[in-house]
Structure formats: C-alpha cells, structure tokens
Structure 1
Amino acid sequence: MQMITIKEVTTIDEIQIIKKLAHEIFHEIYTPIVNPDYVDYFIQKYQTADTIQTQIKKEHFRYFLLQFNDQNTGYLGVQLVKEKLILSKLYVLQSFRGLKIGKLALEYVYQLASAHRIPTIELMVNQQNKNSLAIYLKNGFQIIDSIVTFSPNGDSSEEYKMQKSI
C-alpha cells in the first residue's frame, strides 16, 4: 500500500534533509527556465540549514517533509503572517511527481489556514513554471500581481503573486 505522510521538521537532521532536497529540486525545476547562477543565489539566500533554522525560530515559518512510503520526496514551507498564510515552498522531486503528493500537501495547507483562522493563502510562482502555475490556477488561486526580483549580480526572475481565500 502506498502511503503519503507530512511530517513537521523539528530537528537539525531534518533541516539538513530539506537543504539537500532544495538543492536537487530547485535545479530540476528552475535551471531550465532561469539562469543557473540565480538558482544557486536563491538556494544560498533562502535554503541553507542556518537560514531555514532562523526562519523557523524567528520568522514564523513551519517546514514539513513530504514522504512517500517513508522516503523523503519533497517539502513544504509556510509562514504565518497576520491575516494570511504564505505558502513559501511546495516542492516534490521530479521522480515522485504525479503521485498526488503535492495535492495532499496543498490540502494540508488549507487545513493549516483553517486551524489558525487565516482567511487568505498567498504564494509566489515563477511565471515560466507553467506546471505549477496551472496547478495553482486549477485549485482556485488567482494572480494578483506580477513581480520581478533581482539577484545581486543582476539576474532576474519574473513571478506572479497569487492568492486564494478560504
């Protein structure tokens, strides 16, 4: 029987797993659509073990490992900010996509928002990430803004800010 589980990250070892997954998944997804230097910059800025630990301890983030038959297959990161829940990260290894892991993780995000009485979920998605964009639109998210972000070396990424009321 195939089983998907979502496990909250609470230890340094689990943070190291997230860091390793981030490196692999970000290159799978983003290297084909943005400059690889920007991908490396993003990982170094937001997905090091120290950064993840700081996000959890000081910035109201919660991270979760997504597991398929006890194998770490991806991760989820959310941030609780005032009247909204920010879906910061939802990534699944390419070899595990299509198994409903992301769908279950998204449902979990809705449950988290409901449990905290938060009426709005917000996220950012790269405009070139057509698969993720389609999934979010299919699940009732609406594009509310278009944003360009820059790395220190001048590389840029065009993203949509999306929102869903629950």
Structure 2
Amino acid sequence: MLQKVESQEQIDTLCRIADRVWRLTYDALLPQGQVDYMLDKFQSDHAVKEQMAHQNYQYYLMCCNGESAGFVGFAPRYEGREEMFLSKVYLLPEYRGQGAVGKALAFVEEQARKEGLPAIRLTVNKENTHAFEVYRHYGFQVVDKVETDIGGGYVMDDFIMVKTL
C-alpha cells in the first residue's frame, strides 16, 4: 500500500528510512563524509520540503503490514523533460522480497501514463549493483553514464537508466 506524504510526521518517517537505507547501502561505497553530506542535501527535512514545494516532487510511503517499509519519490517533467524522473526508491531490508518495490514502480508507471509521459528516467550509483539489477529486472535500460559534482568536494558517479512506456 502506498500513502502520499503530506504531514510532518510522514516526512520525519521518510527521512528516518532514508538515513538507515543510505547508511546500509552507501557507507561501504562512498568516501567518508559523503553519505552525511548527501543525506542533508537530498533527504533531510528541509530538502524534502524544498523538492515537494518547488521541484514538483511527490513522495509516497510504502506500507507493509501497517508499518512504514520504504518510500518512492518521483517528479513529472523534472527539469523540463517530457518524462517521469524516478528520484528515489528505498526499502528497508527486512521488507525486501515482498513485492513492495514492484508495486511502487507500477504506481510510478501509472502516474507517468496519467501525465502522458512516454518514459521513466532514473540515476543509479554504478557501484550499487543490487539496485541496478532490480531496475533491469523491471525493464530499465542503461542509456548513459554521468558524473555529477554535488558540491562539498563530492561527485555522484551514476548510470542513467530509462524505461520506455
């Protein structure tokens, strides 16, 4: 079940999930300090509110057995592109393998179709092989790679993946 993020309590939950998932995933992949920097820049209370208010982001909590298990974040026509930008799909490890990610991705596809958008675009860290394989399983294909300077002396080294609808 997906629940639209609208309240402060939901934003707090989303930020707690992001913190845990990021540390489990990226502490071993990224230089020391980069996870803290990126969490503040992209998944903190102020960042989420800014994205929702000014960048057309929509966030939904994924709920399993009445518990918040993860979340998905996306933005139609992000940066003026005629596509859906899938920014985030994070799921706590204890809820993996129960179909939550598949349901979330199906929901994003449905939202893209409602918006009349022909594709979904995402970026995934080149070293995050688990997420990369999940996206490939759901029909995303690598179309490019990009290194993005995010400030603070840090770079994101990502694949760009697209799923045509």
Paired residue secondary structure (2:151) = coil
The residue type paired with residue 131 of structure 2 is S
1:95 CA drift (Å): 1.4
Distance 1:105 1:131 in 2: 17
What is residue 145 of structure 2 aligned with on the other side?
146
Distance 1:87 1:49 in 2: 19
What is residue 28 of structure 2 aligned with on the other side?
32
What is residue 121 of structure 1 aligned with on the other side?
120
Using the aligned pairs only, state the percent identity: 26
- Measured against aligned partners, the alpha-carbon deviations of 1:44-77 in whole angstroms (never above 9, x if no partner) come to 1011111111111111000000110110010100
Distance 1:110 1:156 in 2: 29
What is residue 42 of structure 2 aligned with on the other side?
46
Asked whether the equivalents of residues 41 and 151 of structure 1 are also in contact (C-alpha less than 8 Å), the reply is no
Distance 2:153 2:131 in 1: 25
Unaligned runs of 5+ in 2: none
What is residue 95 of structure 1 aligned with on the other side?
94
Which is further off, 32-41 or 150-159?
Answer: 150-159
What is residue 131 of structure 2 aligned with on the other side?
132
**2:57 is equivalent to residue 58 of structure 1:** no
The residue type paired with residue 151 of structure 2 is P
Distance 2:70 2:161 in 1: 21
Give the TM-score normalised by structure 1. Answer: 0.92
1:98 CA drift (Å): 1.2
Q: Which runs of 4+ in 1 moved over 2 A?
A: 149-157
Count, aligned residues: 162
1:109 CA drift (Å): 0.9
Asked whether the equivalents of residues 120 and 163 of structure 2 are also in contact (C-alpha less than 8 Å), the reply is yes
Unaligned runs of 5+ in 1: none
Q: For the aligned residues, what is the CA RMSD?
A: 1.3
Distance 2:135 2:20 in 1: 22
Paired residue secondary structure (2:74) = strand
Distance 2:149 2:121 in 1: 20
Distance 1:58 1:159 in 2: 24
Paired residue secondary structure (1:33) = coil
- Measured against aligned partners, the alpha-carbon deviations of 1:15-51 in whole angstroms (never above 9, x if no partner) come to 1111111111110111121124111111010111111
